[in-house]
Amino acid sequence: MTTDKINISHSVPQHIAIIMDGNGRWAKARGLDRTEGHKQGAETVKSIVKASGKAGVKYLTLFAFSTENWKRPQYEVDAIMNLLVYMLERETPELNKNNVKLMTIGDISQLEDKAKASLKKSIDTTSNNSGLTLIIALNYGSRAELLRAINNWANDVTAGKVLQKSIDEKTFEKYLYTHNIPDPDLLIRTSGEQRISNFLLWQLAYSEFYFASCTWPDFSDEEFSKALSTFAARERRFGLTGEQIEKNNDKPISSC
């Protein structure tokens, strides 16, 4: 039995995943169309990408459009897709300037041609950047991702490309969109909702969760700093006891 303390604390999350929620309510509260909320939300994306790079975050995954969001009114879906193209065209030079590398997760083959073309252009243009990796989750749903992984693995078994007849965690992860990306250390969801909404079900197994009450358009750099300092004060255990962990910061427990 070892008595060595294990150092698993990181003050800055290496990977932050964000469920950017509340754009519609932000707009409604101001008597505006929901699409105005998405436009304002895109400005928040800009500032949080910058702030993440500055804070030393290596990966930032933003949930931009879920597999379920297709069920929204067509005009809203169109507005989100048009906004995506507009932002990619407007912001790719800035991403490059800030050494940000763009990636996507999700089934982008289902997007319109112009969105696919803009994404390809931005991904290619930023592919050699070595700073923050910005991962946009588009037409992403975790259940779809898991089923795709299982089906692809089964196809590889049938084709004789993989020999083993059972799959371990490491091999399974190779079939996920997030292959080669470390699991999120911190999940942030804005707008007061406290649910996962089919986001990164596998990858969030040991992430810290932070729920901000403000909507995504109102999520300022100060709110982001609050999330980072809350994360820094958390004790992650990964199944160990507090005593096994270096810099154990057990807080006094309160009764229920």
β-pair partners for 187? 17, 209
Secondary structure letter of residue 161 according to DSSP? S
Helix axes 113-125, 74-97, angle to 10 degrees: 10
From the CB of 69, what's the least distance to Mg ion, in Å?
9
CA dihedral 130, 133, 139, 141 (to 10 degrees): 130
Residues 16-75 that bind Mg ion (CB under 5 A): 21
Q: Looking at 16, 21, 88, 100, which residue binds ligand IPE (CB under 6 A)? A: 21
Stretch that binds ligand IPE, among 15-23, 103-111, 149-157, 230-238 (CB under 6 A): 15-23
Site for ligand IPE in 25-54 (CB under 6 A): 25
**Of 15, 16, 17, 20, the one binding ligand IPE by CB under 6 A:** 20
What is the dihedral sign for C-alpha 95, 99, 104, 110? positive
Active site residue 185: no
List all residues 6 or more positions away from 136 whose beta carbon is below 8 Å from its beta carbon.
Answer: 61, 62, 64, 102, 103, 104, 105
Smallest distance from ligand IPE to CB 106, Å: 10
Nearer to ligand IPE, 32 or 123 (CB): 32
Question: Is 69 noted as a catalytic residue in this protein?
Answer: yes
Measured between alpha carbons, how far is 105 from 67 in angstroms, rounded to an integer?
12
Task: Kindly identify the residues of this chain, within the stretch 190-229, that bind ligand IPE according to CB under 6 A.
Answer: 191, 193, 195, 197
Closest CA to 68 of 1, 19, 29: 19
Rule CB under 6 A: say whether 171 interacts with ligand IPE: no
Q: Which residue has the tokens 């252009």?
A: 121
CB of 27 to ligand IPE, least distance (A): 8
Neighbours of 130 (CB within 10 A): 8
19 is an interface residue for ligand IPE by CB under 6 A: yes
Question: Which span (60-68, 147-155, 172-180, 238-246) binds ligand IPE, by CB under 6 A?
Answer: 60-68
Angstrom distance (rounded) from CA 191 to CA 206: 22
Instruction: Note the residue count of the chain.
Output: 256
87 binds ligand IPE (CB under 6 A): no
Choose, from 4, 23, 33, 69, the residue flagged as catalytic.
69
Provide the 3-class DSSP secondary structure of residue 7: coil
Residue sitting closest to ligand IPE (CB)? 24
Query: Residue of minimal CB distance from Mg ion?
Result: 21
Return residues touching ligand IPE (CB under 6 A).
19-25, 63-66, 69, 80, 191, 193, 195, 197
Return residues touching Mg ion (CB under 5 A).
21
